Amino acid sequence: KNEVEQSPQNLTAQEGEFITINCSYSVGISALHWLQQHPGGGIVSLFMLSSGKKKHGRLIATINIQEKHSSLHITASHPRDSAVYICAVPLRYSGGGADGLTFGKGTHLIIQP
């Protein structure tokens, strides 16, 4: 079974700072997901990546498959970025068959004005 570790658990920063959230997993995967959850519960998928780097606006996600590690970066952070950021990977390596996700505990990010 895949295990996911996220760090830090809590992060408070000032508006404009560069933010990095890290995720490590234990078993080889087909793809890793970065998700955002606001108070109230709904989850939004930010990125799904299996190699290299993806960018969307001020968000950048990178993954190193060999090291089983991924990072989520936020440039020029803004108070509206305040949310819980969650890393998720397939529950187990299933070679293309059914697979639910296992989630990290999440990083609670607060950006202060």
Partner 1 sequence: DAGVTQSPTHLIKTRGQQVTLRCSPKSGHDTVSWYQQALGQGPQFIFQYYEEEERQRGNFPDRFSGHQFPNYSSELNVNALLLGDSALYLCASSTWPGAAYGYTFGSGTRLTVV
Residue 61, Cα to own-chain centre: how many angstroms? 8
Q: Which of 60, 65, 71, 103 binds partner 1 (CB under 8 A)?
A: 103
* Smaller CB separation from partner 1, 19 or 29: 29
- What token pair was written down for 20? 């990095």
Q: Is 55 in the site for partner 1 (CB under 8 A)?
A: no
Nearest residue (CB) to partner 1, 7 versus 50: 50
Residue 94 is a binding residue for partner 1 (CB under 8 A):
yes
Nearer to partner 1, 12 or 94 (CB): 94
Q: CA of 38: how far to CAs of 18, 32, 50, 53, 67, in Å?
A: 20, 20, 25, 24, 30
The CA-to-CA distance between both ends of the chain, in Å, stands at 41
> Among candidates 88, 110, 87, which has minimal Cα distance to 99?
88
Distance CA 48, CA 33 (A): 4
Subset of 22-41 contacting partner 1 (CB under 8 A): 29-31, 33, 35, 40-41
99 binds partner 1 (CB under 8 A): yes
Residue 65 in contact with partner 1, rule: CB under 8 A:
no
| Contact footprint for partner 1 (CB under 8 A) | 29-31, 33, 35, 40-45, 48, 50, 86, 90-91, 94, 96-106
